[in-house]
Amino acid sequence: MAVVLGPNRYGKAETRLVRVVRDGGVHHLKDLSVSTALSGDMEAVHLTGDNAAVLPTDTQKNTVYALARSRGVDQIEDFALALARHFVDSQPTIRHARVEIEEYSWERIPPAAPGAGERRHSFVRAGTEVRTCLVHHDESGRSTVVSGLRDLTVLNTTGSEFHGFIRDAYTTLEPTTDRVLATAVRARWRHVSPDSDFAGSYREVRRRLLEAFAGTHSLSLQQTLYAMGRSVLAGRPEICEVRLALPNRHHFLVDLEPFGLDNPGEVYFAADRPYGLIEGAVLTEDAPGAGSAWD
């Protein structure tokens, strides 16, 4: 049976990088996980073990640290673009680079007392929310940028209904006109061009996602998903596609009748699994082709 080599890529996954900028006594912190993956002329290494075309994954990891020092790290998208372009532009055998970054946010520990100066070098991790990006760059010079976030955990205590759904022999779910709606938002959005104001764009997209979640009277999480995506696209012309994954973090009203107590929407059991998983993409009508942007 004849076989051929299919699509392949290789790289260093989850290089942990912490970059401290020392501005006098005031320090600034970037905390990243960087994953690189390269592809190109990799027939020989797979078929015969000839490594002549291979830039080692160890070198890829070292490049992450070296560029962090030499060019600094501001917006993760710009750092990812610099890395991807470096690999493709510096090595003839590397024809495509994929760089994925997660950023964990830290905030300053508050002053000891009102009026005391801001802490200069002490930080506390800011919640569970993670900022993300995925960048591709290829030998033709084309770059694509997808920004995102995950674990943005939100909850509405009312303003959510779910009824009118299919009922078959296995359906036990009661329709409801008032339920808790909670989710941990995974959102990614594709930029029209790799030249964006990534900081401002991120801030505004996040604000719009939250505003749409809070401001939508929801008849389903699917409806909320679409409203969130539409809100981002309506206000941010630099973005042409939003993909969302919304786990439905079910909150079940506890039956307190056995204890002679009513429960008018006050006491819930927050289940962690199983959970509904609602996923979807929202695009502008004229969105350019995505190429490998989401790969």
Q: Please choose, from the candidates 221, 219, 218, 161, the residue with its C-alpha nearest in 3D space to the C-alpha of residue 186.
A: 221
- Pick the binder of ligand URC from 18, 21, 173, 261 (CB under 6 A): 173
Asked if 220 is part of the footprint of ligand URC (rule: CB under 6 A), the reply reads yes
Does position 216 bind ligand URC by CB under 6 A? no
To the nearest whole angstrom, how small is the minimum distance from the Cβ of residue 256 to ligand URC? Answer: 23
| Residue of 190, 177, 186 whose CA lies nearest to 228 | 186
CA distance 231 to 204: 11
By CB under 6 A, which span of 95-103, 189-197, 219-227, 282-290 interacts with ligand URC? 219-227
**Binding residue for ligand URC, selected from 39, 75, 196, 248, defined by CB under 6 A:** 248
Angle between helices 76-90 and 198-215 (to 10 degrees): 130
Catalytic residue among 30, 61, 136, 250: 250
12 is catalytic: yes
Q: Which of 221, 225, 228, 293 binds ligand URC (CB under 6 A)?
A: 221
Is 246 a binder of ligand URC (CB under 6 A)?
no
Contact region with ligand URC (CB under 6 A), list: 1-9, 25-33, 96-104, 216-224? 216-224
Q: Please work out the total of residues on this chain that contact ligand URC, with binding judged by CB under 6 A.
A: 7
Interface stretch with ligand URC, choices 87-95, 217-225, 226-234, 284-292 (CB under 6 A) = 217-225
Q: How many CB atoms lie within 10 A of CB 153?
A: 13
Return the ∠ at Cα 283 (arms to 82 and 285), rounded to 5°.
115
CB of 280 to ligand URC, least distance (A): 12
Task: Select from 276, 275, 293, 171 the least CA-distant residue to 239.
Answer: 293
276 binds ligand URC (CB under 6 A): yes
Which amino acid would we find at residue 108? R
Q: Which stretch binds ligand URC (CB under 6 A): 38-46, 50-58, 71-79, 218-226?
A: 218-226
Cis peptide before 274 (omega within 30 of 0): yes
**Site residues for ligand URC, window 109-128 (CB under 6 A)?**
none
Dihedrals φ, ψ of 7, to 5°? Answer: -55, 140
Question: Residue 234 belongs to what H/E stretch?
Answer: helix 221-235
Closest C-alpha among 226, 228, 193, 191 to residue 208: 228
217 is catalytic: no
Judged by CB, which is closer to ligand URC: 156, or 220? 220
Interface with ligand URC, residue 162, by CB under 6 A: yes
- Residues in contact with 192: Cβ distance below 8 Å, sequence separation at least 6, in sequence order: 237, 238, 239, 240, 288
Catalytic residue set: 12, 57, 250
Residues contributing to the site for ligand URC (CB under 6 A): 162, 173, 220-222, 248, 276
